[in-house]
Copies of this chain bind each other. A is one copy, B any other.
Amino acid sequence: MTEDHMTDGFATRVAKAVAVTGPLCAGIDPSADLLADWGLPDSAVGLRTFGLTCVEAFTEVVPVVKPQVAFFERLGSDGLAALEDVLAACRDAGLLAIADAKRGDIGSTMEAYAAAWLDPTSPLAADAMTVTPYVGLGALQPAFDLAAASGRGVIVVTRSSNPEGRALQTAATAAGPSVEDQLLADIAALNDGGLAVAGTVGVVIGATLEPSAFDLADLGGVILAPGVGVQGGTAQDVGRLFGACAPGTVLPSASRSLLAAGPDVGALREAAMAERERLRATLG
């Protein structure tokens, strides 16, 4: 799988991996609480052990993992060094990794964030990164371009799974559509000829929310759907929201509900397989 990204785009790589193992993105969320639950120290050593345990458990069980950058960054440069080791382990295992970084800036600054997470020579290189679009989708272009050039992806938060985001995300643009529907339409255009590689740009859409006006089957990119498990989303919600989307395009994401099974590798693996099969039954 690590060899494919010079030829396949991100969406194709995800679809191939989902075809093997089923649709589930497993979060790697070493919060202080979970480190304590796993009997690990609240240190870079703890973060590294937590992350490498997840990689061992989830390899060949799920198609994609999603390390939450904030929990590594909390411990500064030492924490980020632990994340570099976790991302290297993913590459070695052929396990796709989405860096959940939620970066978002303009110009040369956005270019620098893209280089950090998407340049194949970076120690933090992942297969995709998440970004936020408050400064406008167009400002994120340096990330889209670098992702397309390297077979990687950029995943734009459009509908977050939390209630506090609804007022902004449903605001009406001067062009008519809501902020989130306009973003979805613009991203569909990027995926349909707007970039060198189709399927480079994906979206985050919370699995706990109502359907939007935009037909998600037309997106042409990966849909990352957090909120399955603890946040209240069920496999049924996933089916209702995303059932019309092409197989291999939807990645429901679960974190705490899986990680509560740790630190035992076998128990983590079983939790992920059970969730994966529930989702496979719904998404086909």
Contacts and interface: CB of A to CB of B under 8 A. Distances in A.
A123 B220 CA distance: 42
A31 to B, nearest CB: 5
B81 A168 contact: no
A108 B263 CA distance: 20
Interface stretch (A57-65, A111-119, A147-155): A111-119
A162 B76 contact: no
A172 interface: yes
Interface stretch (A67-75, A192-200, A210-218, A242-250): A67-75
Interface stretch (A6-14, A16-24, A97-105, A273-281): A97-105
Contacts of A70: 103, 105, 109-110, 112-113, 116
Interface string A38-77: 0000000000000000000000000000001011011111
Contact of A102 (B105, B138, B174): B105
Contacts of A271: none
A83 B179 CA distance: 35
A160 interface: yes
Given A76-B123, A77-B80, A104 B134 contact: yes
B76 A84 contact: yes
A2 interface: no
Interface string A168-182: 111111110011001
Given A31-B112, A71-B109, A76 B124 contact: yes
Given A80-B77, A104-B102, A172-B172, A136 B165 contact: yes
Interface of A: 31, 33, 68, 70-71, 73-78, 80-81, 83-84, 102-110, 112-113, 115-116, 122-124, 132-139, 157, 160-175, 178-179, 182
21 contacts: A31-B108, A68-B112, A70-B112, A73-B124, A76-B80, A76-B124, A77-B80, A77-B81, A77-B83, A106-B164, A133-B134, A134-B169, A136-B162, A139-B160, A167-B174, A167-B175, A167-B182, A168-B171, A171-B178, A172-B172, A179-B179
